[in-house]
Structures are given as structure tokens and as C-alpha cells.
Structure 1
Amino acid sequence: MVWTRRHVLSLADFSPADYDVVLQTASSFREVLSRRTKKVPTLQGQVVANLFFEPSTRTRSSFELAAKRLSADTLNFAAGTSSLSKGETILDTAKTYLAMGTDMMVIRHKEAGVPQAIAAEMDRLGVRVGVLNAGDGQHEHPSQALLDLFTICTLFDSEQPRLSLLEGKKIAIVGDILHSRVARSNIWSLTASGAEVHLAAPPTLLPRWFADYVADSDDRSAPNPRQLFVHWTLNPALENADFVMALRLQKERMTSHLLPSLREYHQQFGITRDRLKLCKPEVKVLHPGPVNRGVEISSDLMDDPQFSLISQQVTSGVAVRMALLYLMGGGKVA
């Protein structure tokens, strides 16, 4: 297996081999994280800059810990106390970190396209700096989708997680899909595996055009080549589902009142024990966090290890982000 990507900006052009490289590399690092000494010298001497122009807890902490577990030096950027308030541009900020010797930049921004713009600037300058998209606006969140994929695949084969393990599985994604960068990245990864992906949300949070989101550009005659389905009610998405992924209501991104109330949303689309009876008996529930308890998922279900994979997702995040930084930092694939 070969890894040739300098940047990880989107999963839209990931190949099955790319997914498998990340999954199997993450599996190796998960073993490292189970040791008494949880640190390896693979990125010693390299500098990882976490440039988060938008608030984050899980993703930022996960990337910082991943870099430190690989023995990299980390630089953490906080927009509120930066020179942006003095008029500095985002590209100038990135070039400042470049001048400090940064080898990789992890970028989060509320506007779509910022990580791509920084990556393009690094390429224009001819420097070998890798850029990783940690979430940009309503575009994508690649590392979250990869850790979700890793969490699911390791249930079927903990030693050799691979994309093909999900072929034929039914996965329901429920919630604020319109505003969710997590949903967009998961659509690419899960449909690439051969899984059947069902999206469910109120019509205001799930436009019909999502069904064409992964249309094959080489075969326009195939209306739904990757088995992506849209539902404006919950039950069809849950019927015989193997996995249910609930998404947070992106209240900070809603520019108009798209829902009557959170209570009504929970009544129609909230994931509860009763609703899981429509799914396969061994169904598992995921959520990228943070969770609005009692809105997207009932509180008791969120904390039930029989169904919930939420804590495993957080743990998987460190291993997957270690894998991405390792691969982008020039690590060799076994």
C-alpha cells in the first residue's frame, strides 16, 4: 500500500486503498496507545500547528494529543488572541507559522474553503507543508468521518479493519444534515465502502438534492450509483439498520427558524430505545459530539454501552489522527 497525499482536505477523491492505509495505520497506533508508554518518536523534530479559527474541544484536543504521542512539537493558535484582530489575513497567519518551521498545519474555520486556500498557498510557495482539514464551514470534516469509519470497522475485525467490511451494511444518518460537514464526509466514506446509506431529517434540514451528492461523474445515467437514500421521516431509515449515526443540531449555523422546537424535533427524529426496535438487534449508535442530550439522542441511550459507540469514537479519534499526521509527515506504510 502506498500513501501519496501531502494534504487531506476532502474525502471526495479518496480511493479504497487510501481508506485502508489510514485504517490499518490507525490500528497500529491504537496498539501503541494501549501500552504503558504511549509515545513513539516517529515525528520527532517535526512541528504541527493547530490553527483553529473556530471553537473546538474534541477535535483540537485530539489532534494535539495525537501530535504529542508521535513526539512532534505543537503550536496552538487561538483566533481571539491573535493578530487577526489587528488586521492580519488568514494567509499571512499561515505564512507566519510556516516561517517558524511548521511541517504540518491542522486547519479549522467557519468558512468553507479556507484549508484548501492555505494548502494552495503552501503549494504555490513550493514548500512541503501538509495541510489537514479539521472542519471547514458546511463543507467537510475528513478526520471525523475516518474515525467513525475506524470505530465501525474495528467492530468486525479489530486486527485488520478495512473498508470492505461494511459492504452491504445499512447505515442511517439522522439529524441536521444540511449544515453538517460531518455528514458530507461520512457520505463519501460510507458509500465508498459499499454500504447502503440512508439520510433522515425534516425537509428543511435535508434538501432532496442530497440524493445526487455522490453522483458518478463518469456515468450520469446512473441516478444513485453509491446507494444513498433520502427520507423526510425517520422510520424508513431505521428499518433493519446496522448502525445509526445521530448528528448535532447545528444551531449556530442556522440563519432562520428551520424547526418549530427542539421538543418537536426529538419527538419526530430523536433516537430512543423504542425507535431502535426497528433496527437490527445488534444495532450500534454513533454521534460526533457534542451531544444535545434529550434532543438528538435520549440521555439513557447515550450512556448505554450495549448500544452507544460515542466514547469509542473519541478514543478512535486519537489513533486515526496519529495515523493521518504520521502518513502526511512522511511515515512509511508497512
Structure 2
Amino acid sequence: MKTSAELQLDDDGRLRHLLTTEGMSRELLTEILDTAAQFAPVAGAPVKKVPLLRGRTVLNLFFEASTRTRTTFELAATRLSADVLNIDAQTSSTSKGETLFDMQRTLEAMQVDMFVIRHGSSGAAHFFAQHAAPGVSVLNAGDGRHAHPTQALLDMYTLRCHRPDISQLCVAIVGDLMHSRVARSDIHALRALGAREIRVIAPRTLMPSGIETLGVIPYTDMDRGLDGVDVVMLLRLQRERMRGSLLASPGEFHRAFGLTERRLAQLGSEALVMHPGPINRGVELAGDIAYSPQSLILQQVEHGIAIRMAVMAMIIGRGPTA
């Protein structure tokens, strides 16, 4: 059986699906970022549409709640002139016992060109891609704790807009590493782009065993871990995935691992702050930091549209100049 990294490429090494950033080459990752840069001006155009995917059908299939991801995928497909269908998985036939395989076959019979899937189980997007009919592509919008590739890609794009040479950066990823698919995808992307140093900072209860094998340096002390970093990528505490007492309290987490005004001041005025959202104010960061001059959080949301346009164009379109 092919891995997700192998399954997402066709025989010519081009994207057929997007399932993970793991194993993605620097060249392919850079091509996606460059393509997104060509689509970014569409957001400021009087008519925010290009006809690249006219006649194509994109189906958003979300089994988990989402605001940013689902909306930006829908906007991306719409701006490419695709027909967009949104399926509420809570009211779909899976609630009546239909299997994912049967659901996939049924929807493919409606001539869908691309599935955008978010699912609570790791490997769900891989399953869809493995069984996809010829000409049907799968885009992973987040699967369990496994991967969230477009979030990592938009993070890299946002970072590159402010620090073009990522190889010079020391990046710290802070928070709920145990449950975060975003952290894993960001680590793979940062490594592919040659980041100088990648640190991960978390309480011992939220630090995955053996994370060093991903090429990162783990810290369980926030102040030591932040010393000298250029970029702080904060993670949301994913209480919906936690089992047992992994944290004393949100307040205690904020005191020990939250990004406070004091900690940000110690990093210096050139340090950048990122967060995939939604933000838990007073937990991952102090409220005023979210929209401070050093924060890239809103830019991450904006750039998500261009990244998702780029990926869709590369998979089922012909490029931004078509």
C-alpha cells in the first residue's frame, strides 16, 4: 500500500491529491507557494473570479466543525469559478449507517471532480484517495491528529511574505503538540524549506514521545524555549481530543506556556506571532497580542484562500494564467 506522500503524486511527480506535507520536496512546496503568490492579487480585484475551474465540481465534506477552513475552501473554489457543494456530514447518510466507501462511490456518481475532506479519524483522506475513481482528486482539510497540509502551506506562505529566507529562521511551535495535526504538518514543511532550527515547547503531558525524530528540539520550559527565536507558532488547546487530566487548568497553562506581553517583549520587536485559530484568549496568548503589529494571524486567514486556490488549480486546473 502506498503512503500518503506517495499516493498524492502522479507518475510525473505532480500533485494528484493533497494529503500531507510529509515527504513533500522543497521544489514542489515552493511551486505551490509561488502559484499562490500569482493568485493573491485576485482578492483585491474588482471581480474576484478567474474562469480556471469553470465546469468543475468541488465537494466540501466536513465531518468536524470548522469556520476558517471550510469557508476559505469554499471561497477558493468559487473564485476559481468551480461549482461548490457543501455536505453536512451530521445529516448525511453516514448517520444512517452508510460506510465512507459507499458514500464516496455515490458522490462520485454525481461527477464530482474533487473532494475536500475534514474528518476526525487519522487516515480518512488517505482512504478516500486510495479508492478515488480516475480523474477524482482528494484534498485533506484535516484528519484526526495526522495532517492539515493546507494550513501548513498557508503558514509557510505567510512566513515567506515577511521573512523570505526561511533557512535563516529559528521557529518555536508552542502548545498542544500531542493532538495537533497542524504542528506535524508545519514541522514537515519547515524542514523541507530548510529552517535553521525548529523548537517545540509544551508541558510534558502534551509532548509526544519521540518527537525528536522529526528533527525538532523539545522544551518543557517556555522561557528557555523562546530564547532567541524569530517566530512563535502557537497552537490551540484541543480539549475535544483530550482524554483524562492532561492539564491542571487553562489559567495554569497560560502562566506556564502562554505568550504574554512580557514574553513577547523579551523576544524583541522583530519576532513574529502566528496561530491557526480559533484563538483561546487568555490561554495560548494574551488578548492584545492577537492583533498587535507583530501578529500575522489575520494574514494567515487571508492567505489561506490563495493557497487553496493554488492547490486546486495545480490539481484539477491548468495554472493561474489559463
Same fold (TM over 0.5): yes
Using the alignment, how far apart are the partners of 1:293 and 1:176 within structure 2?
A: 15
Deviations 1:222-267 (A, max 9, x none): xxxx4x1100111122111111011000000001110011110000
Change (3 A) 1:22 1:3: farther
Q: How does 1:1-334 map to 2 (within 5 A)?
A: 4-122=14-132, 125=133, 127-157=134-164, 165-195=165-195, 196-213=197-214, 226=215, 228-304=216-292, 306-332=293-319
Please state whether the residue corresponding to 1:71 is helix, strand or coil. coil
Q: CA deviation at 1:280?
A: 4.2
Please state whether the residue corresponding to 1:44 is helix, strand or coil. coil
Q: CA deviation at 1:156?
A: 3.3
- Equivalent residues, number: 309
Structure 2: segments with no counterpart, 5+ residues: 1-11
**Kept after mapping to 2: 8 A contact 1:3/1:333:** no
Q: Percent identity?
A: 47
Deviations 1:100-146 (A, max 9, x none): 11101111100000100010001xx4x11111110000000000000
Structure 2 counterpart of 1:206, one-letter code: M
Q: CA deviation at 1:79?
A: 1.1
* Runs of 4+ residues deviating >6 angstroms: none
Using the alignment, how far apart are the partners of 2:268 and 2:187 within structure 1?
A: 21
**Kept after mapping to 2: 8 A contact 1:240/1:280:** no
Deviations 1:189-234 (A, max 9, x none): 0122221110000000013411112xxxxxxxxxxxx4x1100111
Structure 2 counterpart of 1:141, one-letter code: H
Deviations 1:54-113 (A, max 9, x none): 111110011000000000001111011111111111121122211111101111100000
Q: CA deviation at 1:169?
A: 0.5
Structure 1 counterpart of 2:80, one-letter code: L
Q: CA deviation at 1:170?
A: 0.5
**TM-score of the superposition, structure 1-length normalised?**
0.90
**TM-score of the superposition, structure 2-length normalised?**
0.93
